[in-house]
């Protein structure tokens, strides 16, 4: 089959052990992103299979309509960027391994790295010594402080484990169902949404972005945070209401933010209002970008392609496509 892998910006996948699983297929790995959908469609016009690199490319109805040979789209994890109905109408199978019970260790590690770096003012300290100065202010220890985790899921639970290893207290807020599960597990749930945002030293959000969760963290939520609190987002920028984070930082609550996700990616403008904000520690969506994590994720995706080639598709999201 003609298999196209999209958006491998650093040409990493060919060097990972899992890549051998695609031996025997006609492979094309794209390391850049075309400027227009028309250019993308031209690249992919002969593709039988598309392998998606997370949500770096949106799969729209108009794109699908330009790919007459397409039979399978394969990926891992949540898929708000994929028009599943368009794929189904076109008779294209969509398969995604949702990896239940296995959080992204890399994303959890980065989350806690950002918490540590923000608390100790690490970027300022590095800049100070490189500029020929010595210490740049005073950081804060994490032991004894409180981490608020928004969203009771597998990734948040992994971050909670790291926090407790550093001596932090953990408090949760989530959907009604998520709060019930947390309480049943013996976790501490905030007495109210207002208390959740007002009391912790650090708040980190861990929810999937979909129509129901888009913009659910409001300007009022952020304004309720303490002036010395840290807000961390390694999930999706769209969970926060548009413009609310910059406005909140400008108003002084929260005091700092550490973010790995942005409204439009990739961000290449150094004057972007989030990237350039003096109280933001930004990273370029690297939560899942480690060799170990990518090898794990793409081994799962390649298994989808192999199963399809063997006539026994797995992790099928739209089985009705086979009847189209």
Cα 263 to Cα 238: distance, rounded to the nearest angstrom: 6
Take residue 68 and report the two structure tokens written for it.
Answer: 């007459």
Give residue 210's Cα distance to chain centre: 13
Question: Please, are residues 95 and 304 in contact by the beta-carbon 8 Å criterion?
Answer: yes
Axis crossing angle, helix 105-119 with helix 122-130, rounded to the nearest 10: 60
Cα 317 to Cα 93: distance, rounded to the nearest angstrom: 8
Angle in degrees, CA 2, 29, 32, rounded to 5: 135
Beta bridge partners of 146: 169
Question: Please, are residues 155 and 107 in contact by the beta-carbon 8 Å criterion?
Answer: yes
- Provide the annotated active-site residues: 236, 265, 285
Question: Please, are residues 274 and 246 in contact by the beta-carbon 8 Å criterion?
Answer: yes
Question: Please, are residues 174 and 160 in contact by the beta-carbon 8 Å criterion?
Answer: no
Question: Please, are residues 175 and 192 in contact by the beta-carbon 8 Å criterion?
Answer: no
Cα 124 to Cα 29: distance, rounded to the nearest angstrom: 38
DSSP for 226-250, written as a single string: -TT-EEEE-S-GGGBPTTHHHHHHH
């Amino acid at each position: 089959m003609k298999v196209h892998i999209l958006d491998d910006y650093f040409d990493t996948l060919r060097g990972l052990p899992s890549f051998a699983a695609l031996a025997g297929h006609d492979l094309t790995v794209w390391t850049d992103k075309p400027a227009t959908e028309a250019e993308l469609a031209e690249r992919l016009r002969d593709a039988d299979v598309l392998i998606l690199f997370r949500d770096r490319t949106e799969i729209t109805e108009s794109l699908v309509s330009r790919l007459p040979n397409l039979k399978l789209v394969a990926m891992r994890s949540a898929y708000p960027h994929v028009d599943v109905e368009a794929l189904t109408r076109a008779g294209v199978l969509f398969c995604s391994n949702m990896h239940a019970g296995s959080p992204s260790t890399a994303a959890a590690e980065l989350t806690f790295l950002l918490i540590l770096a923000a608390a100790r003012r690490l970027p300022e300290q590095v800049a100070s010594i490189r500029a020929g100065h010595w210490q740049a202010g005073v950081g804060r220890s994490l032991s004894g402080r409180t981490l608020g985790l928004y969203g009771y899921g597998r990734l948040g639970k992994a971050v909670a484990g790291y926090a407790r290893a550093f001596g932090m207290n953990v408090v949760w807020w989530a959907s009604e169902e998520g709060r019930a599960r947390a309480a049943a597990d013996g976790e501490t749930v905030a007495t109210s949404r207002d208390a959740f945002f007002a009391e912790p030293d650090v708040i980190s959000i861990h929810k999937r972005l979909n129509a129901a969760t888009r913009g659910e963290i409001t300007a009022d939520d952020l304004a309720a945070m303490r002036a010395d609190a840290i807000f961390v987002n390694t999930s999706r920028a769209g969970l926060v209401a548009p413009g609310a984070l910059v406005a909140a930082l400008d108003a002084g609550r929260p005091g700092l933010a550490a973010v790995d996700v942005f409204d439009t990616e990739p961000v290449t403008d150094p004057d972007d209002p989030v990237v350039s904000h003096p109280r933001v520690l930004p990273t370029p969506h690297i939560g899942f970008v480690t060799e170990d994590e990518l090898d794990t994720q793409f081994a799962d995706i390649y298994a989808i392609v192999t199963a399809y080639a063997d006539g026994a598709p797995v992790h099928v999201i739209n089985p009705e496509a086979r009847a189209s």
